[in-house]
Structure 1
Amino acid sequence: DDDDDDDDDDDDSAEDNTVNEEMKQQNVIGSSTMVTYDKTQPKQKVFISFSRTELRSGFIRHLLGALTRKGVSFYIEGDEWRGEDLGSLSFKRIEESMIALVIFSSRYTESAWCLDELVKIKELMDESKLVAVPLFYMVEPSQIKELEGEFGDSFRDLCSMNRESRVIKWMEALESVASKKGIYLKEQGSESEIVYLTVMEVLKIILQREKEIPSLFPSAEKGKSTELPSGKGEKHETYLHKYPLFGMEQRMEQLRKKLEFDCDDTRIIGVVGMPGIGKTTLAMMLYEEWKYRFIRSASLLGIRKMSEACGSVRLQETLWEHLLEGNFPVTGDQTMHESMLAELRKNKIFVVLDDVSDKHQLMSLLGRDWIKEGSMIVITTCDKSLVEGFVDDTYVVPKLNDREAFRLFSYHAFGEHIHSRGGTFLTLSRMFVDYAEGHPLALKLLGSELYGKDEAYWASKLETITESSSVMFQDDWRLFTDQLNEKQKDVFLDIVCFFKSEDEYFVRSLLDSGDPDSTDAVSEVKDLVNKFLIRFADGRVEMNVPLCTFSKDLASPRWLRLWNYEDIISELKQKSDANNVRGIFLDMSKLTTSMWLEPLTFINMRNLRYMKIYDSCCPRQCEADCKFNCPEGFKFPLEEVRYLHWLKFPLKELPVDFRPENLVDLSLPYSNITQVWEGEKDTPRLKWVDLSYSSELLDLSALSKAENLQRLNLEGCTSLKQLPAEIQNMKSLVCLNLRGCISLWSLPKMNLISLQTLILSDCSNLDEFELISESIEFLHLDGTAIKRLPPAIQKLQRLVVLNLKNCKRLRCLPNSLGNLKALEKLILSGCSRLANLPDVRNSLRHLQVLLFDGTGAKEMPSTSCFTVSEGTASADMFLQPQGSHCSVREWPCGVSRVSSLRHLCLSRSDFVSLQPDIWKLYNLKWLDVKYCENLIYVPLLPPRLQYFDAHGCVSLERVANPIAFPVLSDQIHATFNFSNCKNLDQDAKDDIVSYTQWRSQLVLDELTRYNGGLVFDVLIGTCVPGWEVPAWFSHRAAGSVLKRKLHLHWSDNKFTGIGLSAVIVFDGNRNQGNRVVVKCNCEFKNEDGSTYIRFSRTVGGWSEPSSTRRNIMSSHVLVGFTSRIGINKISDEYDDEKCVCTEAIIKFEVTDGVEEIKGCEVVKCGFTLVYAPEERFENISGTEANTQKSGQDNSWILSY
């Protein structure tokens, strides 16, 4: 079938012979730059497949010459092949080669010979016996794979003359090889550059295949050291060849994607992370992998130290020397300088700039516009702010995951003995790995220190590891702080010693030089974040634990930061370094005896910034005697103090010489003060004041100049009668807490423009509420003596929470309540004189929580308060059972999404019934009607209801059938509790249990059909008074344990879930407590007695607040359903479709969540298997549902 015999015209023979002869001569003579990678040359290295008619001279001549000069032998079709069996010889040469270089050009598919070669190349490539490198010579990969243009036309012409089987193999080979990462030569591209890149790629593959370069994850022997070239003439010792590098391949792939090596644009990527995280190692691994693809490449390591030693000008000269292979003359000649720039601009470069510490370094290295488009530059730094705005993208090197960290630690801790260690060593290893928090340097140092030590040493080290770091670590860890200036170092050590895990804004307010509320202010804290020494996590300042331990040891020679109580006591007594004390944090729970402070104890602590006297065991220090006594008072001339916390401050006021100009946070809880200090003092930085439970506090006028105060906590200041008028000056006050100020009888007239939270809870003498801010969002008036709310309440357009709980004298609410458009939570519990809500029809549409329990209302509030009549139709569907049928209908117009109410508490009310249109509360999820002792009937409930509790509704007789129309594919879990509803008639009980059964089937089917994810608890559960497990449960037994043999194919693909039921009885003489949980433990065993399925589920129960205890007066039936999803097999040996003999063992128990409840007994139990119907529900409209018994096990199914 070959049609390419005419390819070798007589006119071309001479030129071909010239090429071949030239190659022979070059192979004999060699080159002074030849690199011999395999001296014995057991096989040829490269087979070149190309179109002779298109590329026999020019490009091929240059390529072969370059390969020859590098000592790489090759096979190329030539005249010496003629006269032999061309196909067999060609295939033999391919088999002998290590690399196949396939040069795709527009006329490649004119030759069946080339395509047969390509098929052979694919076969060997699939067997991993050959590496294929595609080179796209003025064609695009898509043209090859899609057979487009001249390339495709030639292929189709050739196909018409060949067998289909042969054509299919050609197409598969083209698709496979063209999909490999290759080298591209475009029409305007440089052939010389492509030749160079091709040869470098070939050399790289040869080196990797012949293992001249170790793999990226070598299993090197412990202690061996290999050095890696860094640019020209320099060496850099790295992990590349010294240790295994766990987890680096994933990071390499992530970094490759950011560099986009196939992109034609210049890419500059910053590789950032904390010291020791692996930035340099990662960058150098990438450099070693990719440098062969660039004509010019260089790695400049240790730039920070180099810059300190030589200056920034020398940096660029060094980089250029490396890129130009030492041919850069260090001269001031401008002409020569420009010629070097021109030379550099000719070729793309790949450069690694390691450990950059200053932006000026980057400007010196990369400035002056000498980088050719398409170059790749990687910058590693410990400070991500240096590369912001300078790079195209940033890669933050992540910490090691648990598995990677454990492997790295184990390598250094056990060496070759890793597999012989277990037991205690394994447990201790996990603890050390957890401590290191995935930091490679910490893991290496810890493992190295523990190498060869016994268990006793390991255990001892673990006990002290957070207290001090080993001396051998000092040099390695010091690089973390060497990068900091003095201010940054001070702030860093303040965080380490005193403020780790504190609120971010709070720490910045205390420690930063600038104002944290200003976006362009100096922030040492943010500088530390940029340097990866600390991090913000969930709004708090966190840091690496090993770094914290080391840094405490490092501290600062200039300042004393005291947190050890023995050091503090010593310093307070001796006062030897008082002027150097920067912080004191004294935990009084550590003191065994009381301390007596002398008047001059603090006289020389002029630089004290942070002082905290506290008790970690009891924050209130309830002991009668204070452990800090100062009967004569003391001098307190603190000028720099920013943070002053003193639990049970012993004086009546802060000393006269105290200067609060720099004070940010003042906390004196449970103190003896009557006023903060005498007179008025400037407090421009003061933001937080806590004087809570200072029961003798009378006057706050000392704070009249605290204009930037944000939070003022006066909770429990029982002697405080009024607030000073000067509080009006606190324009920044956001939160004012006056809870429990029982002597407070009124508020001054003022407008605190920033106030968002006002707490007046339990101010029992406050009988009138005056509006002191229109910005309030959270207003707590619970436990006050108010009789009404002022009409001005309507001005609170931002009010979200209004708490009026236990306002016993409150008789009514104003109609203007309906103007509170933002109100989401209204608490009226215990307002015993409140008859009902005002007529606020259609107004409280955003209300989500209404607690109306314990009020004087005789009927439930109208649902019109929470819904509006206008609206569009809902797209949600609900199911309405009608006898044995189930109609699917749209939810009525105007109801969807017009009610925001989510939580409604009506417990302990005198209602006879709920509002008949309560179902209109479309989004209601939680409804509590406990102890509504007059409630007789429960109407149709809202469709999204997830929790309904009617415990103790002793008059309840009937419920709607169905009790709700569930919305399909909405919530999963739901609970309906009717415990102690002793008058509930049997029909109502049956309706409730049947509804649970029916709704469970819907949800189970939805979960199975749409693979709804793991479900670890019951989907639907209910509790009703009763003595029998429902009759439709196929397996029932007396007692708390049930054992049954299941049919052989019980777990086929129609199995969707399990129904569980228990009958419980309490000892009538016992108070059952506030938490009851009915659980079951399930085991499924095969015929040899081994367990292959085991799981636990909560069938039902309840949980009350700690002060409430619920009594159960009779036996109760609990029913729950759980999905098959999440019922995991212990062994995968058993197929669902296999014929499996199975015994189910179900054990029920009643606990309080921790231990079994004595006096409670499971007297009956049951379970049933649930199966999907034969035909799944596909078309909602016009379908039916009915319950029927299945043929086996009487397990019920729901058919549509």
Structure 2
Amino acid sequence: MCFRLFKFSSPSSAAAGAGASAADDVGGAAADDNGADNPPLRGKYDVFISFRGEDTRFNITSHLHAALVQRKIETYIDYNLQRGEEIGPALLGAIEKSTLSVIIFSPDYASSTWCLEELVHILKCKKNSGQIVIPIFYNINPSDIRQQRGSYARAFAQLKKRFSDSIDKVQKWRDALTTAANLAGFDYSEKSRTETEADLIKKVVDDIWTRLKCESSCNLEGLVGIESRIEQIESLLDIHSQDACITVGIWGMGGIGKTTLAETVFHRLSSKFEARCFLRNVRENLEQPNGLDHLEKTLLKEILKEEGLSIGLTFVRERLIRTKVLIVLDDVSDSMQMGRLAANRLQFGTGSRIIITSRDRRTFRQTVEKDKIYEVEGLKPDDALHLFRSHAFKNNNTPTIDFKELPEKVVDYAGGIPLAVITLGSLLVNCKSKAEWEDELNKLKQFPDENIQRVLRLSYDRLGKNDKEIFLDVACFHKGKHVEYVKKMLNIRGFYAVAGIRALIDASLISIDSTWVEMHDLIQDMGRTIVYEQCKDPCKRNRLFNDEDVYHVLESNRGTRHVQAILIKCWQTEKRPLKRADFKVMFNLEMLIVYSEPFGNYSTLTTSLDLPNSLRYLYWYRYPWESLPSNFSPENLVELHMPYSRVNQLWKEDKRLVNLKVINLQYSSDLTEVPNLSRSKKIGHINLHGCKSLVEIPSYFQHLDKLTYLDLGSCTSLISLTNICKLKSLKFLNLSWCSKLESFPEIAVPIKHLESPILNKTAIQELHSSIKFLPALERIDLRGCRRLLSIPKSICELKCLVTVEKLPSSIGNLIGLHTLDLGMCKNLKVVSRSIYKLTNLKILSFYACRKLKKLPSNSVGLPSLELLNLSRSGVLGIPDGLVCTTSLYSLDLSRSMIRNLPASIKQASPLSTLRLIGCKWLQSLPELPLVDSLKAHGCTSLKTVSNMMDYAQLRIMQGATASSNYFPWFSIVRRGKEIPNWFCYESEESFVNIELRQDWFRTGLLGFALAVVVSCELNCHHEMFTSDFRTGEDGWKLNDYCYDQHHVYPWNEAFESEEVAKKCSPDFCNLVNEASVEFCLTD
């Protein structure tokens, strides 16, 4: 049910590649072990024997072969005595078709290039397909092979002479010998020999028999994408460690392939343990009478090979402690079950390993360490598609071109769950036409497959009541929402959100992707199906989330007390106008979310609407009435959201909003009066952004002690704001674009938590000296406050202030300041030398200060400065002290009036980005430091330029050699029609093909250096891809700086190896030998 199967279209197959390598050993080599008359190839061999005939043909090799034949083990061995023949495809095929290879190392083994090529190919099969390799060190010490000493040294001295022009081949043989000598095998050298050759052969044959028996139960054929998962689990098991006992948990949702993985690992590793036991369906067995006793007896029988044993017997426990075991407990749902079977009471021998599979991560808490839990993720898209095709088209019923995209839709629906992929593939195997496929897909969306649903529902059935309700709410309303929003909504509904979300994560029913709550589509379908099954009649369901169901309930006027939550994704007034009593009888309705169509026909609406008093959460986008119904008593209301509404006054009389915490009326442009919230002691969040008709804020606002968030931005009619001076809990205040607000209020009491008031684009003329009562103030935004005349000196008493955007002369006293943004201060002409006292300043911006012509000079500069932005400013030159700081990494002078750069800029070694775009008055460029990105196009007055193309080559090459895992981006643009001569591949077409070395994916490919010649007024788009996958794409617009001439643009492009690894396996990448870069024009 899990994971493999790969077929590639590549220039040469793996076998052909191996054959080519083997064919390199020619020229009369003394290869006397094999020849042209090879035994006929069968479908598959159990064992392949590699040996040096002159050493071992008449002793251990013949004896071992006879013993294997006697045990009915299918063995490939070549006794042919012909010499000087090339190793052929038949022999290579025999190696590839063998499950296990035995390498008999003898003193003269390395003198045969044929043997060495066999060894290389055997190790290749071990690496690529997991072939078992058993070395026998016959009359030779393993360390002599590993280090190529003695007879092996003499053999390689001869090989080095014979292949003096193929040193790489000789090194390949050396590496293969070293690798093979490190493998666990049988040492029958003179120093280690303690038994007869007959005893040795018996041990070897017994070991082969055991391994083949396990391997026969571990056939990976038909499993897709499983190899890397097995490797990760085996890494967690750490087989080579002799720790007393390691337990590994395999965790994931139903149908994801946990059992398949555990079973595969079990069979692969069984031969390494003295005893083994695989207990299937633990949860299901424990539900039976005496289930635990039965499982314990089964466990003891499998491990100790005796029946009727009891764990209570001392000698049984002592035998277990002396036994190295491998145990799998499959589908455990309770930590107590796991403890009784394989943890507290049972102790096992040193090196034992236990694997537990479970849907619920909480099962592992008592007995599995956190770093020993393996989470099974869904199949990668390519693997899932391959698995699906192997079932849907198993009769070679390949889809025609006209519906080739449908399998991808099915795989997308299955979402990487192997059970779903296989089930849907088998379901669609008999569909012959595109219409049949589409019909079946549409049916699945409305009626999910019962077999898949049954497996997934087991996780839901094990949840507690609170967790079940939370799961259904997420499935119906909150998938893909921010986790904090989901918690809030669940708490409003009366659930225990934190514990419930944790339980759903542990049960693999939801996941948190960064900060978003995600749920697999099939699990969401399962949850919604549970709601549908509550009652065939939608009127009696507790959750309504389908617009058609909502229309049905309202149209029939049969809303009932069962309905607790409603989501209307797009209300169309023309389809069904709302009526006054639509929601009135839904006495238990707690959550109502309505998204009205943007331009509805409001003429069909009734004059009012009845709402149930049970509402706790009301969200109505574009609420169409001027007020809420007068008979609505919102005592239970916790949050009220009505953005873009037509409301001008919420209520004409006061209401008891004792539970209200949030009110959001943003962009309700007709709102003239804020509702009376004086009794809303819990209110913490008020959003009136864009309420253009609002003139003032009520006086009672100053008594809202719990208010932390107040957004009055773009309230363009707001004149006065005297009633917020006592909001001691306030953390966020937005007054931006309040274009009639002329003063910031005097602060009466310390507001300890307000960090960043937003005052830009207001009509404020001055800030009151009481601003010092904002001790937490870090940033104050005054951009675009064109009427601002002064800032009080008391601002310098604010020790937390780190960003200011218009400054007094005492700015130097703000020693903690790290950001100074004076962008768009169009009247700024002079900057005080006191800014050089700001030793902690990291960001300095004079963006668009057109009247600023000069910066004060200072030899010391700003030692912490990292970013200097003078773009679009009137600055003519830069002081040496500013560019020679030890931390400056970004300098932007684009479209400024800069004439020249100081020669000292060469010493700015940290500088990474230099932007000089459109500097029309810039006349010369001095020698520059090695920056990552230099953009200097559109500098029409530039006369003196250092050799920029040589500079580009140097910078790109330095970036490529500076790191093994990061390729810093660099680009440059200049006029010209010639590609620099240091580019290896050139083309006059719009694309170029690049040959890749065979092991490019494993040698740390960082990226490519590229160059293109373009003319003016073009939008250029480029992609990097191979015949099988795309690695990335990018685009840029050229008409901004190319003007009417040709330009050459060299740059480097990083290779997104992590993205490729997500889509393609290393084996697949090994078969790709060409990359292509194509440039195209876009609109």
TM-score between the two structures when normalised by the length of structure 1? 0.63
The equivalent position to 2:736 in structure 1, one of 748, 761, 765, is 761
Distance 1:1016 1:674, change over 3 A: same
The equivalent position to 2:210 in structure 1, one of 186, 196, 204, is 204
Distance in 2, Cα, partners of 1:375 & 1:417: 45
Contact kept? 1:612, 1:644, Cα under 8 Å: yes
Partner SS, residue 865 of structure 1? helix
Report how far residue 490 of structure 1 moved: 2.2
Contact kept? 1:1015, 1:1126, Cα under 8 Å: yes
Matched, 1:808 2:774: no
Matched, 1:1004 2:953: yes
Partner SS, residue 856 of structure 1? coil
Q: Which amino acid aligns with 1:216?
A: L
Match of 2:39 in 1: none
The equivalent position to 2:348 in structure 1, one of 365, 368, 371, is 371
Distance in 1, Cα, partners of 2:281 & 2:409: 34
Distance in 1, Cα, partners of 2:1075 & 2:957: 18
Report how far residue 950 of structure 1 moved: 5.2
Partner SS, residue 494 of structure 1? helix
Q: Which amino acid aligns with 2:276?
A: S
Distance in 1, Cα, partners of 2:1035 & 2:988: 18
Distance 1:748 1:967, change over 3 A: farther
Matched, 1:634 2:606: no
Cα-to-partner distance string for 1:159-215 (whole Å, 9 max, x where unaligned): 999998899999999845441145999xxxxx9xx9999887422334478xx5573
Cα-to-partner distance string for 1:535-584 (whole Å, 9 max, x where unaligned): 11231111222332343233254433223333213323445451111221
Contact kept? 1:845, 1:900, Cα under 8 Å: no
The equivalent position to 2:823 in structure 1, one of 830, 846, 852, is 852
Q: Which is worse superposed, 283-292 or 164-173?
A: 164-173
Distance 1:946 1:195, change over 3 A: same
Distance in 1, Cα, partners of 2:358 & 2:393: 32
Match of 2:915 in 1: 947
Q: Which is worse superposed, 549-558 or 537-546?
A: 549-558
Match of 2:593 in 1: 612
Partner SS, residue 298 of structure 1? strand
Matched, 1:865 2:827: no
Distance in 2, Cα, partners of 1:581 & 1:1045: 65
Percent of paired sites with the same residue: 19
Matched, 1:429 2:407: yes
Distance in 2, Cα, partners of 1:1003 & 1:322: 72
Match of 2:525 in 1: 549
Match of 2:548 in 1: 566
Distance 1:569 1:1058, change over 3 A: closer
Contact kept? 1:315, 1:364, Cα under 8 Å: no
Report how far residue 264 of structure 1 moved: 0.6
Q: Which is worse superposed, 1004-1013 or 270-279?
A: 1004-1013
Distance 1:182 1:380, change over 3 A: farther
| Greater RCO structure (CA 8 Å; 6+ sep) | 2
Distance 1:791 1:757, change over 3 A: same
Q: Which amino acid aligns with 1:415?
A: K
Match of 2:219 in 1: 215
Q: Which is worse superposed, 405-414 or 681-690?
A: 681-690
Distance 1:774 1:786, change over 3 A: farther
Distance in 2, Cα, partners of 1:390 & 1:756: 45
Distance in 1, Cα, partners of 2:653 & 2:591: 22
Matched, 1:740 2:741: no
Contact kept? 1:560, 1:582, Cα under 8 Å: yes
Q: Which amino acid aligns with 1:1001?
A: D
Report how far residue 354 of structure 1 moved: 1.0
Partner SS, residue 208 of structure 2? helix
Cα-to-partner distance string for 1:938-964 (whole Å, 9 max, x where unaligned): 66497645334557xxxx7x53633x6
Match of 1:967 in 2: 929
Distance 1:423 1:1135, change over 3 A: closer
Contact kept? 2:253, 2:507, Cα under 8 Å: yes
Contact kept? 1:198, 1:293, Cα under 8 Å: no
Report how far residue 761 of structure 1 moved: 1.5
Partner SS, residue 508 of structure 2? coil
Partner SS, residue 790 of structure 2? coil
Distance in 2, Cα, partners of 1:723 & 1:402: 57
Contact kept? 1:824, 1:848, Cα under 8 Å: yes
The equivalent position to 1:583 in structure 2, one of 553, 565, 575, is 565
Match of 2:971 in 1: 1019
Distance 1:808 1:270, change over 3 A: same
Structure 2 unaligned blocks of 5 or more:
1-44, 53-63, 76-94, 124-130, 161-169, 189-194, 535-540, 843-856, 981-985, 996-1007, 1024-1032, 1057-1070
Distance 1:457 1:74, change over 3 A: closer
Structure 1 unaligned blocks of 5 or more:
1-41, 50-63, 76-94, 104-112, 148-154, 186-190, 218-243, 829-835, 873-890, 979-987, 1023-1029, 1037-1041, 1065-1076, 1084-1094, 1104-1111, 1137-1143, 1156-1200
Contact kept? 1:413, 1:451, Cα under 8 Å: yes
Match of 1:381 in 2: 358
Cα-to-partner distance string for 1:470-494 (whole Å, 9 max, x where unaligned): 4565434434533333332222221
| Cα root mean square deviation, aligned | 5.6
Matched ranges for 1:270-285 at <5 A: 270-285=249-264
Match of 1:838 in 2: 809
Contact kept? 2:256, 2:417, Cα under 8 Å: yes
Q: Which is worse superposed, 935-944 or 404-413?
A: 935-944
Q: Which is worse superposed, 744-753 or 534-543?
A: 744-753
Distance in 1, Cα, partners of 2:799 & 2:439: 62
Report how far residue 395 of structure 1 moved: 0.8
Partner SS, residue 383 of structure 2? helix
The equivalent position to 1:397 in structure 2, one of 343, 353, 376, is 376
Tell me how many residue pairs correspond in the alignment: 894
Distance 1:135 1:508, change over 3 A: farther
Contact kept? 2:869, 2:892, Cα under 8 Å: yes
Q: Determine which structure has more spread, i.e. the larger CA radius of gyration.
A: 1
Distance 1:396 1:477, change over 3 A: closer
Contact kept? 1:588, 1:613, Cα under 8 Å: yes
Q: Which is worse superposed, 1002-1011 or 941-950?
A: 941-950
Partner SS, residue 748 of structure 1? helix
Distance in 2, Cα, partners of 1:496 & 1:1145: 44
Report how far residue 124 of structure 1 moved: 6.6
Contact kept? 2:276, 2:303, Cα under 8 Å: no
The equivalent position to 1:1122 in structure 2, one of 1045, 1050, 1063, is 1050
Distance in 2, Cα, partners of 1:1132 & 1:353: 41
Match of 2:225 in 1: 247
Match of 1:482 in 2: 461
TM-score between the two structures when normalised by the length of structure 2? 0.69
Partner SS, residue 230 of structure 2? helix
The equivalent position to 1:539 in structure 2, one of 512, 515, 519, is 515
Distance in 2, Cα, partners of 1:491 & 1:740: 38
Q: Which amino acid aligns with 1:742?
A: S
Contact kept? 1:860, 1:915, Cα under 8 Å: no
Contact kept? 2:977, 2:1046, Cα under 8 Å: no
Distance 1:1097 1:258, change over 3 A: closer
Matched ranges for 1:261-272 at <5 A: 261-265=239-243, 266-272=245-251
Matched ranges for 1:765-844 at <5 A: 765-770=740-745, 771=747, 773-794=751-772, 796=774, 798-817=776-795, 838-841=809-812, 843=814
Partner SS, residue 760 of structure 2? coil
Distance in 1, Cα, partners of 2:814 & 2:291: 69
Report how far residue 759 of structure 1 moved: 0.6
Partner SS, residue 758 of structure 1? strand
Report how far residue 804 of structure 1 moved: 2.1
Report how far residue 289 of structure 1 moved: 1.4
Partner SS, residue 474 of structure 2? helix
Distance 1:280 1:480, change over 3 A: same
Distance in 2, Cα, partners of 1:455 & 1:300: 44
Distance in 2, Cα, partners of 1:513 & 1:675: 22
Q: Which amino acid aligns with 1:899?
A: L
